[in-house]
Each structure stands twice: as structure tokens, then as C-alpha cells.
Chain A
């Protein structure tokens, strides 16, 4: 809302307030208020008595819901599983997106626009639909690929408990690598051509150009993509929800978000669900900002 006019100072903020008021109202109603409500909800619990029939009592429970969430081994497991999933997906995503962007940016790339659109296309497929499609490909009875492999004597079950995280990571990679590639591509496009000319004059090879010019200059975009991917992985929800009926490897508490959803909508315990949601939000906050601090700390320009 910065303004560069030189009129009297008193009028400008008022106009600015009027203009941002719709945003402030919406932001407060649909962003701040639900967060506050969730935090408040997470501090209460309902209690029944006897057979449970009759009005329950709502009481202030301090951090009981948080203690309960953390003392539930399945919830702690889901948090660990999520970190493991991040460790699998984040590097894979960044390297794939960066690799694609550099390939399409290289001087010898053929039809870069066509390939850019092709690799971006999966982003247009809604997550649920993408997961349903992959679900078909992951189940031996319906997957042509697995059937061919099986005929060759290779029995693969992508939905077994040892493989299911990779199967989900694959769906995310398929859906989002193209999107991240576009972000990195536009950063590469923004590099002034004089730098390339200077490098050519100096006799730099294609690899040297990538290493000394392209990568350092797209660094902010790579960090952006990494943070987006971290936040995205911590919110893992749709893929396990859709795949859950197909496999014994995914239960109702597979990820913290799934556990919170299950508590709120299937088990009717919105207080515990709120506590779980707050924990996931805090985790996302800590991990994203921890990563940003790590990459932006003084003197850290080597990577």
C-alpha cells in the first residue's frame, strides 16, 4: 500500500484503509478467525457421563488435547512419516524441476515451448483425479504396466507398506515438477544475455555456464521452490485419503492432516482435531523458517 504522492499525509492512510478494508475484512473472517477459533477449540474438551446419553459438558482442558495427540503413538508415527516423506520428496522435486528447467533452457533444446507445456500439463489435473489415475496404475488387477512386469516375472506392489511413500512421492512429483519447473524457467529467462556473452568470450563450457552463472542467479527461485515443496509435503492429505481404501499400508492416521480430518469429520472430536491441526501448522512454520534461516545465514553462499 505504499504511495509516492506528495499530498497531505492525513488523507492518504484513510484512503488506503478504505481500499484495503474489503481485504482486511475477508482476511480476518476467513483466515485469522478460523486460526483463532482452532486454537481456542484445541484448548477445550467435551465430557459425557454414564452411558453417554444426554448433553455433554464442555470444559477447559488446557493442553490436554496436545498431550493426547503426542502421547498417541499413531500420531507421533504420522509426524515421523511426514518428515520421511519430505526427505524423499523435497530433494527429488527440486532436482527434477531444476534439471527440467536447465534442459529446456539449454541452447541445444528442441521445441522447448512444447516440452514446457507437456511437463506443466499434469499440474492442471486436480489432485484427487491424479491420485485416482495413479491408483489404477498401482493396483496389479487394473494396471497394464504391472501386468506386463508380472509376465516378465517381476512382481511389484507400489502400495505395499515399504513402497507406498515412494508411490505417493511419485504422484506429487508428477503433479508439481512441471509447475516448479516453470518458476525456475522464468528465473532462467530473466538472466541478462550479456552474462552469457561474457562467459562465451571467456571460453566457458556449457557446464561452467550452468555452475557459475545460471545456478547462482536462480538461487532465490530454487529456495522458493524448496519452501513451497516443504509446505506442500507437510500438508500431505489428498493422496493418502484417496489411496487408503486400496491398500493395507494406509490407515486413518497415515499423515497428521489425515488424522485431524478423521478426528473432526469421522469421529466428531473437533477439539482433538484442532490440536492436531495447530501442531501441523507449527511444524510447517518451524521447518519452513528453519530452512530459510539455514540458507540465508551469513556467509552461506556456497551450496
Chain B
């Protein structure tokens, strides 16, 4: 099409206009005084829109809009915090327990104590405490992953192995399993939450707020005991050094080359998806204990909460939405159904999603949730996540990888992580004892 100079000028002008309009369209606005209070909620949990819909149906005065974001550690948190800085944050956001201090050091959360302080009793104590700092409440717990041990009950029986109640028994079982050609477990060098969970279960307390400064204890005796135990398993080729939830690990689980997995309650869905052909041959038991007869548990990287982001125009309604979503039995049932994790509420008797017989069939009829309910109650309530927990995760995995790759002791990795973490905190001006 031939274009005359005149229409060319129009085209240019049109192009400029389009640009200007699209640039100006970046900002939007809300807040009419009429109608229900409008809230936005950011989450990456698949199908959580069902929960939002249920809330909207049950409430006339508040209307929540869901914004799906990238999973927090993959950039979702960075997005949320940038939005807080820019003054256009969502009202409520999905935040991992481990990331709450990170939001606090960036001053990105509203103190919601006055709206929710009476609701503490609805939740398991350790889960509620993950949102409490300096006596103020900053988030409402949603779900977590208390640890349990998934294991191949059929193979254990075949090999004549009694369920290992203690780590000593686990070690003996590992030797028997190895003689049969398989491995009792994978050493998941890629998985900081797994390593931290094992340390926590060993009695470690990595971070303690103390006189306005942090006491950091990543290489204390309890942690090194755990590190040395796994070192022994690695050295004697009793565990397979491989990334969990990788293609390699999937294949080993399917073929029976790896027989157990210590993981969070939500791992049930992963296992059923990975090895559907092994239905009926799995079972779940408690995490082996360091001292026979005790019942100490831990979690897989904590869990997930709902927090009110700084700058929300309606913090009261936002806090109420967070409480309703995470404690209303119908809502919690939906959350459990969509795979959010182990409910943070104390009373799970009304959660029908935990009665699904299809799940139990996979585990030979066992009600595996009994194990996780026990585990949840046995989690140490005083474990505190520090600021920069993402730095902790990255450093720990890097250092453990370097140890495994260079044939150096795992203990070195924990010593190095202690140094790295203290340096990272001090660099940000955070006080360390």
C-alpha cells in the first residue's frame, strides 16, 4: 500500500499516541466509598481461587480478588516487596514461614495484632508462633509440612526389617537394604528444607533472638551429630547421593532403588503421582528418633502463611480475610483438597479432605494423617526463622554440594554456612551475638 507523506505523519502520531496510552495505563485506581471493601490477595497455590470464591460468597461487605503470582522463592517475594516500595502492594499475600522475617526487615508487613490477637487458639501453637515477633502478630498460619517417613512397607517386610524407630535402627536397616542392592534413602543435596528439618529434629536451634541480636548456631553439637550421621551413610554408600524430586530420583522411587523418603505431609500427593504403580506398597511412620521412646518432630521448611502487606488501605478486613481463609473449616477443607499442606488449625476433626480413602488405599489402608497429626503436635515451638533465610538456603545447599563434590566432610559445610550466614547478617547491619 503506498503511503502518502500526510498519512505517514498520522501513522507516526498514532504510534506515539499508542505508546503514550500504554505507558500511562500502568497505573490504575480503586476505592469508591460505596459497595464492599475491595481486597487483593496474591498467592501461587494452584486452585486457591476456590477458597477466594467461597469467601466472597460468604461475605457481602468484603470482596477479594485473587492475583496469581510466581512462587515466592522464584521471584514472587521480590515482586511483592517491590510493590510495597512502590506503594501499590496487594492487601494479603502468601508468604512462607521462613520468609516472614525477610519481609519484616524490609518493613513490608502490617502489624495486625489488634485485629487477630483473640484468634491464636484456633491454630497449632508452633504454627501461630511463626507469625509472632516481639509480641506482635504479623501473619496468620495457613499450612505446613510436618515430617514423616514414607517407606516401602512391602520391601521392608520382605527383607525382614522392623520399622526403624531410632536413627541407630535406621542405620542398621540401611545396611540390610544395601545388601539387597537398593538404598534406604536419598541424600538430597539440593534440599535445604530437608537438611534443616533433620537438624531441627536433632534438637538444633539455629537462630535465637537474644537481647536485640541474633545468636546463630548452625554448627552446634546437635547439628553436627546429624551431619556426621549422614556422613557415615554417604561414606558407606548406604544412601544414594541424588537430588530429590528430580528425574533420577523419580526413576529410583519407581524402580524400588530408593525405599524411603522423609518429607512433609504434602509429599503424599507427590509420591502417588510419581509411583502410581506402587499403590498399596507404601506406608508412613514417624521420623526416627535420636533417643528411643522420645517423640521429636520437625517440619519441611516451616510452612505457609497469609500476611497483610504494608500499605494496605484495609488492614482490618485483610486480617479478617486471612483468619477466615485459614481457620474456617470449609475453607481449610478446600485448602487441604487443593494441596496447600497440613492445616495450621488445631482442630482438624471437620476436615473431610483428610478422610479420602483413595489416599489410604495407596498406603495399604493406613490412615497416614494420624502420623502427621502426631508429628505436627511434636514440632518444637521455639524454632525461629531468621532474616535472610533465602541466603541461608542458598548457602547451605552450595556448601553441602561443595563438600559432596569435593569429597570433604559435611561438617565443613555446616561450619562454612555458619560463617556465611553471620557475614550476610552483619553486612546488612543486623546484630549478631
Interface residues of A in 220-262 (CB under 8 A from B): 244-253, 262
Decide if B267 is an interface residue (CB 8 Å cutoff): no
**Least Cβ–Cβ distance between B195 and chain A, in angstroms:** 14
User: A121 an interface residue at 8 Å Cβ cutoff?
Assistant: no
Q: Does A198 belong to the interface (CB within 8 Å)?
A: no
| Cα distance A112–B23 in the bound complex, in angstroms | 48
**Does A152 sit at the interface, judged by CB under 8 A?**
no
Query: From residue 242 to 286 of chain A, which have CB atoms closer than 8 A to chain B?
Result: 244-253, 262, 264-268, 270
Tell me whether A84 is interfacial, beta carbon within 8 Å: no
Q: Which residues of A contact B391 (CB under 8 A)?
A: 267
Residue B229 at the chain A interface, CB threshold 8 Å: no
Instruction: Check: B248 CB closer than 8 A to any chain A CB.
Output: yes
A54 & B9 in contact (Cβ 8 Å cutoff): no
Q: For B246, what are the chain A residues with a Cβ–Cβ distance below 8 Å?
A: 139, 245-246
> Would you call B159 an interface residue if the criterion is a C-beta within 8 Å of the partner chain's C-beta atoms?
no
B12 interface residue (CB < 8 Å to A): yes
Contact A21 B78 (CB under 8 A): no
Q: Shortest CB–CB separation between residue B408 and chain A, in angstroms?
A: 11
Q: Does A55 lie at the interface of the complex (its beta carbon under 8 Å from any beta carbon of B)?
A: yes
In the complex, the answer to whether A249 meets B405 with C-beta atoms within 8 Å is: yes
Q: Contact mask B209-253 → A, CB, 8 Å, 1/0?
A: 100111000000000000000000000000001110011100110
Q: How many residue pairs between the two chains, A and B, have CB atoms under 8 Å in the bound complex?
A: 137
Q: A140 to B241, alpha carbons, bound, how many Å?
A: 13
Residues of A52-99 at the interface with B, using a CB-CB cut-off of 8 Å, are 52-57, 68, 74
Given contacts A21-B12, A21-B16, A29-B23, contact A51 B78 (CB under 8 A): no
How many residues in B have their beta carbons less than 8 Å from beta carbons of A?
57
B398 in contact with A251 (CB, 8 Å):
yes
Q: How far, in angstroms, from A195 to B309 measured CA to CA in the complex?
A: 72
Q: How far is the CA of A139 from the CA of B106 in the complex (A)?
A: 41
Q: Report if B401 contacts A (CB, 8 A).
A: yes
Assess whether A32 is interfacial by the CB under 8 Å rule.
no
Contacts of B209 in A (CB 8 A): 51
Contacts of B387 in A (CB 8 A): 48, 51-53
Question: B241 to A265, Cβ gap below 8 A?
Answer: no
One of B9, B81, B102, B247 near A18 (C-beta < 8 A): B9
Q: How far is the CB of B80 from chain A (nearest CB, A)?
A: 11
- Residues of the A chain whose Cβ atoms lie less than 8 Å from the Cβ of B405: 161, 248-249
**B358 part of interface (Cβ distance < 8 Å):** no
Interface hit among B172-180, B313-321, B330-338, B424-432? B424-432
Nearest neighbor of A21 in chain B, beta-carbon distance:
B16
B404 touches A (CB below 8 Å): yes
A46 to B81, CA, bound (A): 14
Tell whether, in the assembled complex, residue A48 and residue B430 are in contact, meaning their CB atoms are under 8 Å apart: yes
A-facing residues in B347-403 (Cβ within 8 Å): 387-388, 390-391, 393-394, 397-398, 401-402
Once A21-B16, A50-B212 are accepted as A-B contacts, the answer to whether A265 and B75 lie under 8 Å apart by CB is yes
- Shortest distance in angstroms between B76's beta carbon and chain A's nearest beta carbon? 9
Q: How far apart are the CA atoms of A22 and B16 in the complex, in Å?
A: 6
Chain B positions within 8 Å of A48 at CB level:
105, 387, 428-430
Q: In the complex, which residues 94-110 of chain B have their Cβ closer than 8 Å to any Cβ of chain A?
A: 101-102, 104-107
Within 8 A of B (CB), among A149-194: 161
Most A-side CB within 10 Å, residue of B13, B242, B257, B429:
B429
Cβ-neighbour of B248 out of A15, A142, A265 (below 8 A): A142
Minimum CB–CB distance for B308 against chain A, Å: 16
Smallest CB gap from B244: residue in A: A245
Q: A251 touching B402 by the CB < 8 A rule?
A: yes
CB-CB under 8 A from A202, the residues of chain B are: none
Are B241 and A50 in contact, CB atoms less than 8 angstroms apart?
no
Residue pair A18, B425 in contact (C-beta under 8 Å): no
Q: Give Cα A246 to B188, complex, Å.
A: 10
The answer to the question of B150 belonging to the interface, with a C-beta cut-off of 8 Å to chain A, is no
State the CA gap A210–B334 with chains docked (Å).
Answer: 70
CA distance A222 to B431 in the complex (A): 56
Residues of B106-121 whose CB lies within 8 A of A: 106-107
Min Cβ gap B257→A in Å is 8
Residue in B213, B247, B390 whose CB lies within 8 Å of A50: B213
- The answer, among B15, B104, B133, for a CB contact under 8 Å with A22, is B15
Partner of A135, one of B133, B247, B257: B247
A26 and B23 alpha carbons, distance in the complex (Å): 10
B77 located at the interface, meaning its Cβ lies under 8 Å from any Cβ of chain A in the complex? yes
The answer to whether the Cβ of B189 comes within 8 Å of any Cβ in the partner chain is: yes
- Which B residue's beta carbon lies closest to that of A273? B78
Contact of A253 with B398 in the complex, beta carbons under 8 Å: yes
| Interface assignment of B134: CB less than 8 Å from any CB of chain A | yes
Complex CA gap A74/B430 in Å reads 23
Contacts of B430 on A, CB cut-off 8 Å?
A: 48-52
Q: Is the CB of A267 within 8 A of B394?
A: yes
Chain A 285-299 interface 0/1 with B at a Cβ cutoff of 8 Å (1 = within): 000000000000000
Residues in A neighbouring B134, C-beta threshold 8 A: 51, 53
Which residue on chain A has the smallest CB distance to residue B255?
Answer: A141
Q: Assess whether A115 is interfacial by the CB under 8 Å rule.
A: no
Q: Does A136 contact B (CB under 8 A)?
A: yes
Contact A262 B394 (CB under 8 A): yes
Q: Is B50 an interface residue (CB 8 A)?
A: no
A141 touches B16 (CB 8 A): no
A19 at interface, CB cutoff 8 A: yes
Q: Does B291 contact A (CB under 8 A)?
A: no
Within the assembled complex, what's the spacing in Å between the Cα atoms of A266 and B76?
9
Interface residue from B81, B190, B406, B431 paired with A51 (Cβ < 8 Å)? B431
B contact set with A: CB distance below 8 Å: 5, 8-9, 12-13, 15-16, 19, 23, 73-75, 77-78, 81, 101-102, 104-107, 133-134, 189-190, 209, 212-214, 241-243, 246-248, 251-252, 257, 387-388, 390-391, 393-394, 397-398, 401-402, 404-406, 425, 427-431
In the complex, 25 of the A-B residue pairs with CB atoms within 8 angstroms, ordered by the A residue number, are A15-B5, A18-B12, A19-B8, A22-B15, A22-B16, A22-B19, A25-B23, A46-B428, A50-B430, A51-B133, A51-B214, A53-B134, A56-B105, A56-B428, A141-B248, A141-B257, A161-B405, A244-B190, A264-B78, A266-B73, A267-B390, A268-B78, A268-B102, A268-B106, A268-B388
- Apart from A22-B12, A51-B213, what 8 extra A-B contacts exist at CB < 8 Å? A48-B429, A48-B430, A50-B213, A52-B105, A53-B387, A56-B105, A57-B429, A265-B78
In order of increasing CB-CB distance, the 5 nearest A-B pairs are A55-B107, A47-B429, A251-B398, A248-B405, A52-B430
